[in-house]
Amino acid sequence: MLKLKHQNIAGSIITVTTTSTLWSDLVNTAAGTSLRNAGFDFKANGVDIIPLDGDIRFQEDGNAPTATEGQPLDQNHIYQGRNTSLDNLRLICASGTVTCYIQPGVCNNYESSSIAAAGASSGSGDNSDLISNTVVHESVTMTTANTEYTYTLPASIKGFEMRLDVNSSEDFKLNYNGSAGDSATDYITIEDGEMYWRGTLALPAGFVLRFQSPTAAQTMKIVTYS
């Protein structure tokens, strides 16, 4: 899922109550905004939700969840909703309030929804292979328009995110580990203001990201987790 940018970081931590409430209303409350769809693009078709200090229930089909009915989501579990409509996503808790992390985004067609312990892998055993111990921030200066620039991911990477500098209003093209020049012909487009994120990776050493922008004097910001 390509994560979409919140209006401000406060909107990523919502407070679920005993009243069934639309996710966008909860985000607006947390962020101190009053925007349609909480300011997110209406093409958003995915969401990550993690209850941080209690259990909740949610429903996406237009029915309102109750304290005893609806899809349960336990504390410190993650719901990864993929290729789903967010228009009717409502959340509720049985008592008091529950703080949740929420992150909307845009999904590829092949992604599917899941619920798992936060940070869990699909296999058995502990999750030490998914825990990030090293976070590295990098910048790549893209001096010339429509010119391919590259970044080689570190070995044993567990995830990365990338976006053009926050002051940019340009799209960029991204190619995965192809041949030189492929970012001009074989690419995905990351739209302006959006961040590209991939996690739980199993990539070979020396994996190369290739990217370019139609405008000169851009800066690519890359964060890797190893």
CATH architecture of 128-225: Sandwich (2.60)
pLDDT string in tens for the chain (226-residue length): 888 889 998 999 999 999 999 999 999 999 999 999 999 988 899 999 999 999 999 999 889 999 999 999 999 888 989 888 899 999 999 999 999 999 999 887 777 788 876 654 444 444 444 445 577 889 999 999 999 999 998 877 777 888 887 566 677 888 766 678 777 787 778 877 677 777 655 667 778 888 999 889 999 988 887 7
* Strand residues in the chain grouped as ranges (E): 2-3, 13-16, 21-22, 46-51, 56-59, 71-73, 77-82, 90-92, 98-106, 114-117, 135-142, 149-152, 159-164, 172-176, 188-190, 196-199, 208-212, 218-225
Who's near 90: CB < 8 A, 6+ residues apart?
20, 21, 22, 23, 58, 59, 60, 64, 65
The residue extents of the domains of the chain are 2-117, 128-225
Whose CA is closest to 20, among 69, 92, 112? 92
Phi then psi for residue 148, to 5 deg, are -75, 135
pTM value is 0.56
Q: Tell me the sheet residues that pair with 209.
A: 151, 176
Who's near 122: CB < 8 A, 6+ residues apart?
116
Q: Tell me the sheet residues that pair with 183.
A: none
Q: Within 10 Å of residue 8's Cβ, how many Cβ atoms?
A: 12
- Hey, do 2-117 and 128-225 end up sharing a CATH topology, with the first three levels equal? yes
Which fold does the domain 2-117 belong to in CATH? Answer: Jelly Rolls (2.60.120)
Q: Tell me the sheet residues that pair with 81.
A: 47
Distances (CA, A) of 188 to 44, 64, 174: 17, 37, 5
Residue 130 confidence (pLDDT): 47
Phi then psi for residue 102, to 5 deg, are -135, 140
